[in-house]
Chains A and B, each alone.
Chain A
Amino acid sequence: QQQVKQSPQSLIVQKGGISIINCAYENTAFDYFPWYQQFPGKGPALLIAIRPDVSEKKEGRFTISFNKSAKQFSLHIMDSQPGDSATYFCAARYSSASKIIFGSGTRLSIRP
């Protein structure tokens, strides 16, 4: 049972374009939604995170859009650069727990 569903599995975007990765969740008890970025051979690292009481959070070229009623959230990367090529994981945390559930990941490739 996949509690956090992520799509697409892989994505190719031209340099300068917008990369969009989508996630959906079922459990309304989730209260924290981070995105992690992982480069080959490295561990994941926190990129940006949002709480369900806001609909959007922006940090530089990275934006999370959050739709609480639809139980969906997405990562937008504006002006995508080759250095953004990595695997991206969405995740969700239970309000009463100390662990988070990860999506299956999206391998993003930015073509120069």
Chain B
Amino acid sequence: NAGVTQTPKFRILKIGQSMTLQCTQDMNHNYMYWYRQDPGMGLKLIYYSVGAGITDKGEVPNGYNVSRSTTEDFPLRLELAAPSQTSVYFCASSHGTPPYNEQFFGPGTRLTVL
């Protein structure tokens, strides 16, 4: 099993550009999450999904969109990149049903918006 994979690993965007961060998991997990990590700020939840076709906002959803058409994939879309979106983005997945609460994280995407 590859676990949770994310692409790209690094990306530099200009202000106003758009891009999609890809996330795929091969553990047949129903739950998937997108976080951003800023220095000293911990992990902030952007969006999450409890299954294909179902998504919901987290703590910091503004400027982002998601879709969940399959169990495996959960892409994150930035429509108009802003410097405030410079961050490291992590995708995670979990089985979701107690006691299987562990979230498995991908290696992250480091995004810089200039």
Seen from chain A, the residues whose Cβ lies within 8 Å of a Cβ on chain B are: 6, 9, 32, 34, 36, 41-46, 49, 89, 93, 98-105
Contact = CB atoms under 8 A, between A and B. Distances in A.
Interface residues of B, number: 26
A39 B105 CA distance: 12
B74 interface: no
Q: Which secondary structure characterizes the binding site on chain A?
A: strand
A99 B55 CA distance: 12
Interface stretch (B11-19, B61-69, B76-84, B95-103): B95-103
A32 B98 contact: yes
Contacts of A104: 40-42
Contacts of B50: 98
Contacts of A43: 4, 90, 92, 105-108
A101 to B, nearest CB: 8
B101 A99 contact: no
B101 A44 contact: no
B75 interface: no
B62 to A, nearest CB: 17
Contact of A98 (B40, B48, B90, B107): B48
Nearest to B92: A43
B96 A44 contact: no
A100 B42 contact: no
